[in-house]
Amino acid sequence: MKGIATAGTAARTPTGILSAEHRNIEKVLACLERMAGEFEEAGAVVPAPASDALEFLRTYADRLHHGKEEAELFPAMERRGIPEHVGPTAVMRAEHVEGRAHIRAMGEALERNRAGDFVREARAYVDLLRDHILKEDQVLFPMADGLVPEEEQARLLGVFDRVEASDVGPAVMTRMLAIRDALCARYGVVDVPRPASGGCSGCCGHG
């Protein structure tokens, strides 16, 4: 079953929510990329936008978005035959860990005003997350839509709603989107072009 239709509205699915979150993350990645160029040219880190970007990445990209994937979507797929320690969900988990390491390194570079270190880690993180998002949107999420039955998707939707409403909370969600908007205004990011669809080429642990 590939989605749960709600009368009078477009289909609302767990992977649809996660994909919409990807669009917000992509905008901040574009800002981070331009920020890195600015810091490289200046030879110094500008604390305010760097701190805001890291707050967004820690809270929205990792705690909210990756948290929902790791706690709910990936296990739902694994209960239906996707191996836990190898294959697509394992690859995605490993990339989440790699991303957290880059975020920590950016935070350390910000504290020490090491522009070169910040720029290197920021660019590595941008490259990692863009590729990660592409793999999820084009391979993992369609796979999940085909594997996870309608009743389980309905349960996931309820969990996702509770995460936003209770675990994260409306005030934090509002702040995350305000950070996104402020960074986009500062760095002139209006929209992020979507890459053309392509094959997996073994990117998620299968050929």
Give the per-residue pLDDT at 7. 35
Average pLDDT, integer, range 53-57: 98
Give the per-residue pLDDT at 195. 67
Q: Are 164 and 35 in contact (CB under 8 A)?
A: no
pLDDT top residue among 35 and 6? 35
Q: 136: pLDDT confidence band, cut at 50, 70 and 90?
A: very high
Q: What is the CA radius of gyration of the chain?
A: 18
Close Cβ partners of 110 (under 8 Å, ≥ 6 residues apart): 45, 47, 50, 51, 54, 118
Residue 120 located in a structural domain = yes
**Number of domains within the chain:** 1
Average pLDDT, integer, range 161-171: 94
Give the per-residue pLDDT at 194. 73
**Residue 30 belongs to what domain range?**
14-187
| Distance between CA atoms of residues 175 and 198, nearest Å | 34
Close Cβ partners of 4 (under 8 Å, ≥ 6 residues apart): 11, 12, 13, 150, 153, 154, 157
Q: State the chain's mean pLDDT as an integer.
A: 90
Residue 160 located in a structural domain = yes
Give the per-residue pLDDT at 4. 35
CATH number at residue 119: 1.20.120.520
Residues 93-108: tens digit of each pLDDT = 999 999 999 999 999 9
Q: 1: pLDDT confidence band, cut at 50, 70 and 90?
A: very low
Give the global pTM. 0.89
pLDDT top residue among 183 and 206? 183
Closest by CA to 195, choosing from 130, 124, 139, is 130
Residue 50 located in a structural domain = yes
Give the per-residue pLDDT at 191. 85
Residue 122 located in a structural domain = yes
Q: 11: pLDDT confidence band, cut at 50, 70 and 90?
A: low
Residue 74 located in a structural domain = yes
Average pLDDT, integer, range 145-154: 96
Q: 85: pLDDT confidence band, cut at 50, 70 and 90?
A: confident
Q: Does the pLDDT at position 207 exceed 70?
A: no
Give the per-residue pLDDT at 74. 98
